[in-house]
Structure formats: structure tokens, C-alpha cells
Amino acid sequence: MNPAEARPREGNQTRSAILQAATQLFATQGFAATGLQQVADAAGVARATPSYFFGSKEGLWKAVLEAQNQLAARIVPVAFAQAGAQPDRAALIGALVDATLGFHEQHPEFLRLIQWSELQGNGLIHEVPTHGQAVETAVHAVQHVLRGSAMQEEDVRHVVLSVLGACYAHLVYGRTLGLTLGLHTDVPAFLTERRAHLKRLLLATLGS
């Protein structure tokens, strides 16, 4: 490999390292408490390097959200593929629950970034195209589930918010309300029970 070919590859690797470091720091500390020096240190690069690739902390935050929402937009296509051709409502709901919870088990930083956006009133997420795309896939999935049901005339946006709230509840409240209720949300047996519960709950609610 000649030097001209090596430079773009090294640049991509550096950019990826910065993005990965920023994702973990933003998810742990939020936008306000994270500085570019911290990101540079975690990525093993010079202080000016994150700005070189992303322009500013705001630009880096949006790049992190862009990448995370790009991953989240795959949840529904994965669920539809798992459900198979012409699935009934129960099979589709089951596949959507499995794909949603499976995604968050693999990418816990996604929900933390969303929570930080809420807590800190950071509206930059609305400047991220993949966020809107990910939400639209959820709307499409719920519309498909509601087709032919008694709830098909409901405002699908409210249904999406309610469904996602149910799916995320143990991730948001597990260490507070969950423990108060005697639920140990970090135990594998709980996660198995939670998946089964959500499938029954959503089928009873959306499937009538």
C-alpha cells in the first residue's frame, strides 16, 4: 500500500475512534458535561483532532446521534424479516418486541443518548435526519400491526409513544421503580419474563 492509499484509511480509523469514544462519553455523562479534550484523550488523539473531523462539540454530538439512529432504523426491517412472509398479528408483535429489546441489549448507549437529550433540553436531535427515519419505521410498523384491529383509527403517533414507553420502561426505571417493585431487571430470567409479558400486553392491547 502506498502512502496516498494509507492516509484515507488512517483518517477513517481516527474518525471511527473519535466517534466511538464520544458515544460512550456522551451516553455516560451527557452533552453538557463532556468536553472535546475528554473525547480526544479517550480516543488517543490530539486535542484538535475531534474538531478537525467534526467541526465542534455540537457537530460531534450530531454525528453520534446520526450513527446511533442509523442503527435503530434497522430494528423494524429486522423484525419483519424475522416474522416471515404474511405473519399474523401475534407473530409480528413478537418479532418487533424481540428486535427492539435485542437492539437495546446490544446498544444500551442509544437510549441513554435519547434520555440525555430529554434531560438537557438538547434539540439538536431534530437536526439529525436518521432520527426522523428511525421514528418513521416505528410508525410504519405500528400501522401494520393496527391494520384490521379495533384500534386502527387511533392516532398512530400516540400508539407509537405508548408502545415504546412500554418497551423501554424497565431500561429507564429498572434501578429505581423496578427495585421498589421487587423486580431485578438485570437478571436474565427477568428479561425473558419481560419479553413474554410485553408480547401478551401488546397483543391484548393492539390485537383486538
pLDDT of 100-123, one tens digit each? 999 999 999 999 999 999 999 888
Predicted confidence at residue 8, as pLDDT, reads 58
Q: How confident is the model at residue 49 (pLDDT cuts 50, 70, 90)?
A: very high
Cβ-contact 16, 54 below 8 angstroms: no
Q: What is the pLDDT of residues 164-185, one digit of tens each?
A: 999 999 999 999 999 999 999 9
How far apart are alpha carbons 13 and 47 in whole angstroms?
A: 17
pLDDT(76) > 50: yes
* Domains, the chain: 3-55 (1.10.10.60), 68-206 (1.10.357)
Spatial CB neighbours of 84, under 8 Å, sequence gap ≥ 6: 91
pLDDT(4) > 70: no
Q: How confident is the model at residue 155 (pLDDT cuts 50, 70, 90)?
A: confident
**Which one-letter amino acid corresponds to residue 203?**
L
Predicted confidence at residue 1, as pLDDT, reads 40
Percentage above 90 pLDDT, the chain: 85
Q: How far is CA 59 from the centre of its chain?
A: 19
Predicted confidence at residue 177, as pLDDT, reads 96
